[in-house]
Amino acid sequence: MPTISPTYLLTDEVSLRVDSGVTAISQGERTVLLDYRRGQYYGLDEIGSLIWRLLAEEARYSAIVSTVVAQYDVSIETASADIAAIIAEFVDRGLVHNG
């Protein structure tokens, strides 16, 4: 699967969807992702869990950034860069795909 650069994700034109082969299990503020097809699992911290939940709800990139900025003491610039990097990692690992 091709890598999507973080810069490409900075637009609401990109429609991202959680892969149907991935199951998320929440444990308090943390989430465990289980990718059945690849037989791998991933642990997400509080912010990663929030980003995953918003992606699962099909939130647009700008809405994810706004939510993180509203809930945490972080600038829009920092949140945008960090969220783009996290989403790019999700895409690289096949957990999230375009469209």
User: Per residue in 40-90, pLDDT tens?
Assistant: 999 999 999 999 999 999 998 899 999 999 999 999 999 999 998 999 899
Domains of the chain: 8-93 (3.90.930.60)
pLDDT in the model for residue 98: 79
> Which pLDDT band, with edges at 50, 70 and 90, does 39 fall under?
very high
pTM to 2 decimal places = 0.86
pLDDT in the model for residue 2: 45
Give the whole-angstrom CA distance, residue 53 versus residue 31: 9
Exposed/middle/buried for 20, CB within 10 Å: 0-12, 13-18, 19+?
exposed
pLDDT in the model for residue 97: 86
pLDDT in the model for residue 69: 97
> Which pLDDT band, with edges at 50, 70 and 90, does 1 fall under?
very low
Q: What is the mean pLDDT of residues 33-38?
A: 94
